[in-house]
Chain A
Amino acid sequence: MNGEQNTSVVTTLGPVEETSHHALALDSEGDGFWSRFDRLTTAVADQLNPILIKETRESLKSRQFLITFFLLLALTLLWTCLGIVFNAPEVYYLPTGAALLSGYYFLLAVPIFGLVPLIALRSLSSEIDNDTFELMSITELASGQIVRGKFASAVLQMVLYLAAVVPSLAFSYLLRGVSLTEIAMLLIAVFLAGLVLTSIALMIAPFVSGYLGQSLAIVGLSAAILFVQSMMAGICLSEIVGTGAASTSEGWLLTLITVMNLLVFVVVFLKAAAAGIAPVSENRSTSLRYWTLAQQSLWIVTMASVAMYYDDFEPINFGSFVLAAYWLVIGTIALTESTEISPRVRRELPSTISGRAFLSAFMPGPSSGYLFAVCSGSVAIIGCGLFGTLVKNKEVMTEPIFFSFVMAGYLTTYLGLIRLLTLPLAIRGMLPLLAALLTLAAMLVLSGVAPSAIFVVIEGDLPTVYSDLEILNPFWTIMESFDRGGLPIHLTVLPLASGIAITFINLFWMRDLYKYRKIAVPDRVLADRSA
């Protein structure tokens, strides 16, 4: 860094032949229509993600895609023929579109959110296993671009599979019995399920390596796919097709809310996938934290809107419960972050007093992650409760503000305990993700079992009604909150009090939060950037 810097520019090796056409094209220099078209498509393709182009080239030549595509085409045609034959002669004068659409739904659901997520998982994990990822990672592609490219190629496959079924969908509309809005809502639901499952597949791909890891991931993802398939079949065939839901503004409002919330989930999953493959010197946390905050905000707006639209404020309490669960998981994952911060990230650290006070929680590290989860979660949950209490005009089982105390209390208590338990490993940067998640699971199981066990020791029998002791048990407490007249108010402050106490204990081990100071960008890097 102390040598003199000159302004020489790396020269192109040897004379470079300047040509106006693409190296892969046959005759792009011509003036004909196809030559111009070729140049235009080349220019358009230049703007696309290289991974998308590569994956598309690979996919279009792969046996798996060709077989799936033509099988889908053939089965759709077969289902159409069978539908006509079995519905004849009523097909000519009775609306039979809904019956055919049900079949098309299954034919479309299998590749779009059955096959494509599995292919996406295999695509990214095999890049890592087959040593192609390393060569790709030393190009100028950012980790986010790699993940987005993989995701885009999965979306393209979904679109191609849809293209095979579109004529049949149009045919089902012509047979009457289904409206265009129903078909549109059905396709949105199918696509959304495909997007969410594909983003989950990409998120877990960087963490599964080797035959055993990949096999386990495929089994786990297959189980998730089966669950979503059965759930979606129920939603699409019972709630959309033939119900008229697609003709109401309420139906579309719910669809919009669901789409927005799930799309933010997709973004968060993709960000997590990108963080999983990013070099360790990069900041893998801050952008993810901003997106989790955005996701939380959207969820709060959704729950508030639903509560006000239906004039029912139980959803506010449900929203608080979901937030507590969400931040408990996010916070536990954040505890596994490295305590070391690379010089590259240290350049981004806040330097002012207010910045260090308020923005440090967005910086990477287990302590900042813990603080971020506790602060974001507690503020959001209590904010929800306050909103519910102030705005509600009907009674709810448990007053939202008191319910929010319970939820914020559980979040801070359990996350704080998990942090204290894993601290010996975490401060050495040796806390694996699996260990943190197992600690969370063990903690939850214990919290569910322990109060009953204590009750058995004292009373000699299992509890049949909710007692004060069960405030330790979040599961029973939450069920009690939504049922049987709600929670006794005097109990609701106990979890919050314990949460505050445990958070204060945790604050003693926050040294790594302010261990690092902002450093300047090296002159050499500045010189390179300005070149």
Chain B
Amino acid sequence: MIGRRRVPLSDHAGVHSWDGPVIELDRVSRWFGKTHAVNEVTFNVPRGGVFGYIGPNGAGKTTSMRILATLEIPNSGDARIDALSSVNEPDLVRRRLGFMPDSFGTYRNINCAEYLDFYARSHGLIGRERTARMRWVMDFTGLRPLADKPIRGLSKGMRQRLCLGRALIHDPSVLILDEPAAGLDPRARIELRKIIRTLAADGKTILISSHILTELAEMCDRIGIIEQGRLLATGTVDEIRGVNTTTRNIAVELLSANDEAMRLLRSNPAVTDLRQAGLDLSFSLTGDRNDQAELLKNLMNSGISILQFRSTDQSLEDVFLRVTEGRVQ
């Protein structure tokens, strides 16, 4: 009655992995009543990649993460971890997945070490392997001094660390972190960022959502922007900036005053908002990188001496504001 399924150490560690995308959402839709929480979302994350998931509140980030974490069933489409369907093979998916939800409940009368011990046992870790994992997790997350402290006495930052520790206890190859930095003070946020960087450097495949876009830009290989359940853009941070910027802000510094430059720019229909302040010109150019290069070439060929020619980079926040409309469902 009280016996448990024993998981041999070799079996536990030996989850079979493959070399395709580790995280895949394939035309996943999930609706609650008339609300399309997730609408035909498709993206994938290769092994060792860090994917940032951005979107306003209620955009569908948490729902899609919960589908991957085997906690929700999509109405259509499939979510896969390591090519295993989270719908049909939840047990196999759970072996390789660590999930950190945006909010989580804890138990009243147990301390941090007991909490981690429970989850280690629940993942089939026994004996020395469990001991070693618990020690590693407590050291890695800095929870060792708090091992005997009741969970209810922990600060928000420490609770987040504990939750991350719980997600790491079985050494998963995939981490899904839903707003891990929410509500943390700047120091705790920086520490959490370091932890996530270390995990990424160790080869974990990570899907992370956050509202702090600058942090995501630093941590993630790729990002996806979601609003109203639809994935609006996906790619590297640079790709996102480029793909979604049809108008570029260009700043030009001339070596000497030259009316020809102003004439040429005015005659170009792609140029708008042209302004001159001494030798500095600024304008907006509608087009992509190739158009930008073509314009520079034309200016140079006209004999205009140019000291600087640069496009003013858009931050991720700018792209996010541009791409999303701020609507909630």
Complex interface: chain B residues within 8 A of A59 (CB) = 109
Chain A, Cβ-Cβ closest to B139: A17
Complex Cα spacing A524 to B82, Å = 9
Q: Does A392 contact B (CB under 8 A)?
A: no
Residue among B15, B69, B88, B107 with most chain A CB within 10 A: B88
Report yes or no: A281 in contact with B87, Cβ–Cβ below 8 A: yes
Which B residues, 57 to 93, have Cβ-Cβ distances below 8 Å to chain A? 69-71, 73, 82-85, 87-92
Complex interface: chain B residues within 8 A of A61 (CB) = 109-110
Write the A10-32 contact mask toward B (1 if CB under 8 angstroms, else 0).
11111011111111100000000
Residue among A22, A58, A139 making CB contact with B131, cutoff 8 Å: A22
Q: Does B297 contact A (CB under 8 A)?
A: no
Q: Does B39 contact A (CB under 8 A)?
A: no
Complex Cα spacing A148 to B58, Å = 37
Q: Does B119 contact A (CB under 8 A)?
A: yes
Complex interface: chain A residues within 8 A of B140 (CB) = 14
Report yes or no: B114 in contact with A24, Cβ–Cβ below 8 A: yes
Report yes or no: B128 in contact with A528, Cβ–Cβ below 8 A: no
Residue among B16, B117, B170 with most chain A CB within 10 A: B16
Residue among B6, B103, B114 making CB contact with A57, cutoff 8 Å: B114
Report yes or no: B17 in contact with A136, Cβ–Cβ below 8 A: no
Complex Cα spacing A43 to B166, Å = 22
Report yes or no: B114 in contact with A54, Cβ–Cβ below 8 A: yes
Report yes or no: B16 in contact with A528, Cβ–Cβ below 8 A: yes
Q: Does A141 contact B (CB under 8 A)?
A: yes
Which A residues, 28 to 69, have Cβ-Cβ distances below 8 Å to chain B? 42-43, 46-50, 52-54, 57-59, 61-62
Report yes or no: B16 in contact with A342, Cβ–Cβ below 8 A: no
Complex interface: chain B residues within 8 A of A17 (CB) = 132, 135-136
Complex Cα spacing A282 to B69, Å = 16
Complex Cα spacing A9 to B127, Å = 21
Write the B95-117 contact mask toward A (1 if CB under 8 angstroms, else 0).
11101010111111110011001
For the residues of A in contact with B, the DSSP-based class is: loop
Complex Cα spacing A132 to B204, Å = 25
Complex Cα spacing A62 to B110, Å = 10
Complex Cα spacing A140 to B125, Å = 10
Q: Does A3 contact B (CB under 8 A)?
A: yes
A131 CB, nearest partner CB in chain B, Å: 4
Interface residues on A, range: 35 or more
Report yes or no: B15 in contact with A145, Cβ–Cβ below 8 A: no
Chain B, Cβ-Cβ closest to A8: B17
Report yes or no: B83 in contact with A19, Cβ–Cβ below 8 A: no
Report yes or no: A18 in contact with B2, Cβ–Cβ below 8 A: no
A340 CB, nearest partner CB in chain B, Å: 10
Report yes or no: B71 in contact with A3, Cβ–Cβ below 8 A: no
Binding site for A on B (CB under 8 A): 1-7, 13-20, 69-71, 73, 82-85, 87-92, 94-97, 99, 101, 103-110, 113-114, 117-119, 121-124, 126-128, 130-136, 138, 140, 147, 166, 168, 170-173, 199, 202-204
Q: Which 7 A-B pairs have the closest CB atoms?
A: A531-B16, A50-B121, A3-B20, A139-B122, A131-B105, A130-B105, A61-B109
Cβ contacts A to B, 7 pairs, < 8 Å = A23-B134, A46-B130, A57-B114, A58-B109, A145-B5, A344-B88, A524-B18
Q: A6-B18, A9-B15, A138-B99 are in contact. List 8 more A-B contacts (CB 8 A).
A: A1-B83, A4-B19, A7-B16, A9-B16, A17-B135, A57-B109, A134-B101, A279-B70
